[in-house]
Amino acid sequence: MKVSILVPIYGVEKYIGKCAQSLFGQTYGDIEYIFVNDCSPDNSTDVLREMLARYPERAGRVRIIHHYTNCGLGAARLTAMQHASGECVMHVDSDDFLPMDAVEQLVAKMEETGADVVDGAYGIYFSENSTEQVLPFKGNTVHYLKRMLCHNVESNRIWGRLYRRSLFEEHQLFPIKGIDYGEDLALVPRLLYFAKRATTDAICYYYRADNNASYTHTISAKANASFLHASKVVFDFFNAVPDAKRYQVALRMGFVDLYRHARRFGMPAEKLDEMGDFWKKCLGSRLCVALYKRKHGYKLATFFYLFSRRLYLTWLQLKYAF
């Protein structure tokens, strides 16, 4: 089973050496590597080539594709997908790294289960001496999606998972150019809606929490606009699926959290009102939104939101417990 590892590159000179070493040193053999240099302003690609020179047996399986203008993370992921030829794909951010047996573990679980997506456990890397393990969610996929759509409950990470490439192609779901912050939010829930999913408790990814220049540490007006776009893609998708009613409460929770995000990070709240009126069908979401729109309503709205979300998550836990 051939695996394509897809890696966007931008401003990671400090980290890409460790990332590349972990990729080229994988115990699994049948891997192609596609790196997309999105006009990185530093020496990231030079460091990558220096590391590749230590693994001559991998050289014929490596492609470095260059964007000639900076197109953003979404476009870099899309370019990598367009050049992938493996039966499976794995997205890796170039400031993160993998355990040496990560691909082997994920492929073994996919072959064992016939899954479309395999989620591995991952480690949050704070320093050489400090990591925190996060196990994958093992419950029903509908339960998982509902928790994910609430926002800030389950990670919608694109990394740390092995995907069958056919899942993207059969449903024409790909990274979206222009969505750079929240690009995984826009894609992963939609993929999982169609996927048979399996998990492994083996750590298959290390996510760096010590890179303050990464997308997740940078909230700007451009990032807010991207996050809004990603959220709209997800809301529109789950409001249009045949079983849309099943996801309505979770979508409303996610919509209220968008208002909370808007108040915290300066997103123009009026743009949120253009995302549809599905949330108006619930008194609780209308109340929270009204409070978030008030100058001094943030704390009260957040209290109601977090309380109602806790009740909803408890109800989900009971509903899917058996």
Question: Which of the residue ranges 69-73, 81-85, 286-290 would you say has the lowest mean pLDDT?
Answer: 286-290
The dihedral built from the CA positions of residue 198, 188, 238 and 227, taken in this order, carries a sign that is positive
- Taking only the tens place, the pLDDT of each residue in 2-50 is 999 999 999 999 999 999 999 999 999 999 999 999 999 999 999 999 9
- The model scores a pTM over 0.85: yes
Strand 3-9 relative to strand 88-91, pairing: parallel
Q: Kindly tell me the burial class for residue 4, based on how many C-beta atoms sit within 10 Å of its own C-beta (0-12, 13-18, 19 or more).
A: buried
Task: Dump pLDDT digits (tens) for 118-151.
Answer: 999 999 988 776 778 999 999 899 999 999 999 8
Task: For residue range 177-230, list pLDDT tens digits in order.
Answer: 999 999 999 999 999 999 999 999 999 999 988 765 555 555 677 888 889 899
What amino acid is encoded at 248 in this protein?
Answer: Q
Residue type, 271: K
Q: Distances in Å between the alpha carbon of 192 and those of 1, 69, 139?
A: 21, 32, 13
Look up residue 69 and give its amino acid: T
- Positive/negative CA dihedral, 158, 160, 161, 166: positive
| 251 touches 217 (CB < 8 A) | no
Report the pLDDT value the prediction gives residue 264, as an integer from 0 to 100.
Answer: 84
Structure token digits, residue 223: 């990032």
CB 74 within 8 A of CB 180: yes
User: What would the pLDDT profile of 255-289 be if each residue is shown by its tens digit?
Assistant: 999 888 888 887 777 778 777 788 888 888 888 88
